Amino acid sequence: MKIILDTHIFLWALSDPGKIDPVKTAEIQTLANTIYISSISIAEIMIKSSLKKLDISFDPIEMAEKSGFEFLDFSAKDAILLKEMPFYHKDPFDRMLIAQSIANKFHIMSDDRKFKMYDCKLLQ
């Protein structure tokens, strides 16, 4: 299975894995699954860090690589879906992650309840 981690799941995986539901943790650790960190999540982390909304004392790219995660760039194909997506969720980072999940037909892992409103393969 190909799984995109929502930004908060990625950060929890790095700093506080106990916050992640054991079922989700098992999916992250399953070697048959490919776990992706989107370029959108890296952008979100860096922007929130620059605004002092998030304290990041590590390189998220280096940490993702050490964790065995793959990177997934946000493409023009992913962005096209944003035009027609309903505004159940107002957060632009989350909307882009959802669009990326739908466009690539990948699962997405999040604890955000608003993700359920979209036609994405949500792992809850």
Domain spans in the chain, listed from the N-terminal domain onward:
2-123
Separation of CA 9 from chain center: 7
pLDDT band at 124 (very low <50, low <70, confident <90, very high): confident
| Collapsed DSSP state (helix, strand, coil) of residue 6 | coil
Class of domain 2-123: alpha beta
The amino acid at 45:
I
* Helix count and strand count (H, E) for the chain: 6, 5
Residue type (1 letter), 32? A
pLDDT in tens, 66-85: 999 999 999 999 999 999 99
- How confident is the model over 22-65, as pLDDT tens digits? 999 999 999 999 999 999 999 999 999 999 999 999 999 999 99
- Predicted pLDDT at 87: 94
The angle at the Cα of 121, spanning 78 to 28, to the nearest 5 degrees, equals 100
Reported as half-sphere exposure (CB side, CA atoms, 13 A), residue 14 has a value of 22
Q: Is the pTM of this model over 0.85?
A: yes
